[in-house]
Structure 1
C-alpha cells in the first residue's frame, strides 16, 4: 500500500501541475444558414485539431437563421437530420480546419418546408500530427507508459504543396480526393508505437493518377493504473485522470524542446535543405554555410577540399532566420548561399540548428486585418511574418485560378514585429500599401506566428478578447 500511495500521489502532483499550466480548450460553435450549395460551413482550430461534439442540420430554434423568413418556415423546432454528427466527425475530426457546404446535408430532407441551418459545436484538442507521402511509412509512437489514441486520419490529397517535391503538375492538381479512414485507428489505438504504410494497398485509391499522402492526428494517453485507488477520494482521482488524459498530450516535451539539426552537402541547386516542425514553429538557433569539420559531407572528396575547418559565410544565420522563423516547414537550397564564396576550393555544406516552439498563428487575406492579442499582463513577441502566397489553398475561396497559381512569392517581413512587439494587442492590415507587392496579380495573404510573454507590468493592459 505505501508504494501504491506514493505512485498515486505522484500522479496527483502531475495532474496538479497540469492544472496550473495546461491550456483550457473551450467549445466553439459555428452556424451556417441554408441557402445554396456554395454556402460554406468552416470549422477551424488556431492550435490543436478539431473534435466535433454536437452537430445539427435542421432547426431547433425559431430565432436562428430567421431573418426574412415567413413564420411557417420557422415553426418546426424539432427538425434534425439523422447522422449529421457522424458525418461531421468523419469529415473533420483530427484536422486543423474543415470546410463543408450545407448542400451536402439536404438529402434526405428532414423537414420539407422548414428553413434549415447547419450548426456544429466542437473543441480544439492538442494533437501530434504525422504526414507520410505515398509509398512511405507513417511512424506513430508515445513515451513509455503511454498509448496511441487516433483522432482522425485521411488518405489522398487536399493541397498542392504537401508531398509535391519534384512531382509533375498532373500528379498534384487534384485537391478534392482526401478520404477519411479508420484503418489507422483500428491498427494503432492502444499501442505504444505503430508503423503503417501510406499505400493504395492499405487504403484504396481515392484518386487514380494523383500522388497521395496519409495525414494522421493522434495523442498519447497514460494507461489506467490498476489497484491504485486506496486512500484517495473519487474527486481527486477524477481530477488526476482528467488532466492525465487531456493535458499530457499538449506535448510536455515542448518545455524542454530539443535542438534539431539539418545538414545539406553543397552540390547543385536541387539540394534541398528542409527544416520541419511536426508541432510548433521553427526558431533558428545557429546556421553555417561553409565548413567547421573535416568529417561532415566528406565522402568522395579529396583532403584539400576538407582541410579548411574555419570557413563560414557571414549572414547565413540572419538569412535562415528571415526565411524560416515562424514557419512550420521551410525549404531552401545551398544555391541560395553561393553568391559569395567564403573559402574558395573548400567543399561546403549548409547546417542549421533549430527548435520547434509553440506559437499562435494568424492568417489574414489581402485587404483584411490581422489581429494579434494576448491576455492581460502579457505582450506580443512575433516569431516570424510573411506576406504573399506559398500555396494554392489559403485565402483561395472563389478566387480565379490566375490569382492563386503563383506559390513562389511569399516575402518575409519585419514590419509586424516592429509594429506589434511589446504590445498587448495589435491590428495590422494585410495590404500591398503596408508590405509592398511581391507578386502583381496574385491574391496574397499575411501569415504571422507569435507568442504571448509575461512582463513586469508598469501599467494595466486592456484585456484582449479574441473574436474567433
Structure 2
C-alpha cells in the first residue's frame, strides 16, 4: 500500500481569499519549533518526529545517525495538535521527552505542516443572544469565554463596580458552546447565567466566541458499534475525534442515568488511533470499543464522535524512464502518497515480458520523502521515474511512479 502522510489539508468553506498557503516547519532535534499565525489561528495538517530522508538536519552527523529513513513517532500529530491547534502561536520542542524516541541512535527532526485559519469573533453582552452562521459551511468553535477579560467591552452605562473585574472565566463555556454549535451551519447561544452559571457575581459579563467555518462531516457511533467513514473519490482527513461522553443525550436511549451523567469523559488516544486507521484512505471502519481506545470513564456508556473532511485528489502515473509532471495552476501541490515500484500487472505493461510485470508487491520506501521534497508547496514540479532518483526496489521488474496529490489554494 502507499506510504501515506499523517494528515491532509482541512478545507475551508469560506471565500478563496481566506485560504492560505500551507507552510512547513522543520526543526532539528534539540531545538524548538515556533509556529505563528498573526491574526489567524493554527491548523495543524501533518506532523512527524523522526527521520524520512538522509539529508535533512544531517550537517556534522555521522552516517550511522542519519541512515535510518523510515522513522516515525506515531504520537506526533496528536501531541502537536494538543499544543498548537486553534492558537495564534505555539512552541514545540523537538525532543524525545515530548514524543518519546521512535528510533534510538538516529538524529531526528520535527516536520510540521500547518496553515493559518482566519477566524471570526462574536461578542455578545449578557442577556442577549449570540447568533453564529456559516452559510454553506459548518461551525468550528476555536475558543469561547463567558465572563469578562477587559473593562471596556459591553461597558456602556455600567457602573465601575460591574466592569472592574477582568479575570472572570466560566470554565464550562467552551464545552457548552461546542455542544450547541460545533458542526452546525448556524446556532443561537444565550449569554446568560442560566446557560453558563455565574463565574463572577456582580460583574456584568459578555460571551466571546472565536470560530471558523469549515466543510466537514461528523460521525457519531454508540459504544459497541462500528464507525464507517467514506469519501467516495476523495480521501479522509481526520479533523478531531473523541471516544467518551460530553453530553447526557447522545446514545442515551435505554440507558440508566448513572451511565450517561458523566459528561467530561475524553479518550486521550482517540485522535491518534482514528488518524492511524483512517487518514488518507477512501474509507475505513473504526470500532467504538474499549479494546481499541481503552476505557476513559468506567461505568459510563460512551460514543465515538469523529469530524472529518474529504479531500479530492489527483493521481499521476508515470512509467519507468519518463518524467512525472505535476502542476496546480494558481495553487500549490500537497503530496498525499507516492510509490515507485509495481502493485499490479497491467499498469505500464505494454510490450513488456511477463517476468517484468508479474511482481506486484514492489515498493520504493523513499518515494514519498523524495517526491515531497521535490514538489510539496510548489506550483509545479518534475520528478523522473528512475532508479537513479529512488534506487531500485525490485531488480528486473519494470516499474512506474504513482503519485496522489491535491492542489491547495493560497493567497
**TM over 0.5, shorter chain:** no
Q: Which has the higher helix share?
A: 1
Shorter-chain TM range is: 0.3 to 0.5
Compute the TM-score of the two structures, normalised by the length of structure 1.
0.32
